[in-house]
Structure 1
Amino acid sequence: MTSDLAANVGFLRDSRLRYDHVLWGVVLGASSADVALTLVGLSLCFSEANPVARAILDVAGGVGLLALKIAALGVLFAVCRRLDTTYRRAALLAFSLPQLYAVGHNGLLLARYAHLCS
């Protein structure tokens, strides 16, 4: 199974390149942007759609949201330490894609509707 995945997606197995560093950079950048855009939106007039994040925001505010993101990154780091290269890179990619989607979605919402907040 591993060889099939590595054969189809060559960058997952190539150890000469520092894709792990690039993927961690994407994960950290997207996670930071997600938190920042969420806090900007909340400071205007938007509300959090994720019920878990909304409950944490109600209890601990922005610090709680930041703690939630750091906890998720901690779990990702612990998982990645136990995986071989192929699956570690796949996990980083799988974590970053929803983060990138959230950044794009939040950015679009702010660009289109921020002017409606009073």
Structure 2
Amino acid sequence: MQQTLSKDAVYVADSRLRCDHLLWGLVLVGAAGDVLLTLTGLSLCFTEANPVAQAFLDVAGGAGLVTLKLAALLVLFAVYRIVRPLYRRAALVAFFAPQLVAVSHNGLLIARYAGSCV
């Protein structure tokens, strides 16, 4: 029996364990980790390097940072719903990868320099 693939077919890692669910979980954990580590660093002695995030922090404090992250997640969700299935996982990975870098960087900074905060 020959099966043809449509242009919307998902070619990578399509299995019973939904890869999209795993990626969404990573996105949400990464987003929460980014916010928590940023707020932890700010409570010690660090400053926010992202000018957009800093503007939100200046206006509304931690709630502003949470609002910014939720807005980014809503945009990601809209993109996820709009794009063809072939590109949905790419959108999730493109959102998650920089968060992974940020969480790793913030975690290392806090671990290394938190003791020297005065």
TM over 0.5: yes
2:113 is equivalent to residue 113 of structure 1: yes
Corresponding letter in the other structure for 2:35: V
Q: Please say which of residues 83-92 and 103-112 is displaced more in the overlay.
A: 83-92
Match of 2:3 in 1: none
| Structure 1 segment 37-48 matched on structure 2, within 5 A | 37-48=37-48
**In structure 1, the residue corresponding to 2:49 is in which secondary structure?**
coil
Q: For the residues of structure 2 that align with 1:17 and 1:56, how far apart are their CA atoms? A: 38
Corresponding letter in the other structure for 1:68: L
Deviation at 1:86, TM superposition (A): 1.8
Corresponding letter in the other structure for 2:43: S
Question: Cα RMSD over matched residues?
Answer: 1.6
Match of 2:82 in 1: 82
Q: For the residues of structure 2 that align with 1:80 and 1:111, how far apart are their CA atoms? A: 35
Give CA-to-partner distance per residue, 1:46-95, whole Å, 9 cap, x none: 00000000111011100000000000000000110112222000000000
Instruction: Specify which structure has the higher proportion of helix.
Output: 1
Match of 1:67 in 2: 67
Q: For the residues of structure 2 that align with 1:85 and 1:17, how far apart are their CA atoms? A: 16
Corresponding letter in the other structure for 1:99: Q
Q: Provide structure 1 residue ranges, at least 5 long, that are not aligned to the other structure.
A: none
2:32 is equivalent to residue 32 of structure 1: yes
Provide the identity percentage: 65
Q: Provide structure 2 residue ranges, at least 5 long, that are not aligned to the other structure.
A: 1-5
Give CA-to-partner distance per residue, 1:6-50, whole Å, 9 cap, x none: 66xx22xx2644011000000000000000000000000000000
Q: For the residues of structure 2 that align with 1:86 and 1:48, how far apart are their CA atoms? A: 35
Q: For the residues of structure 1 that align with 2:86 and 2:99, how far apart are their CA atoms? A: 21
Match of 1:55 in 2: 55
Structure with higher Rg: it is: 2
Corresponding letter in the other structure for 2:96: S
Q: For the residues of structure 2 that align with 1:16 and 1:55, how far apart are their CA atoms? A: 43
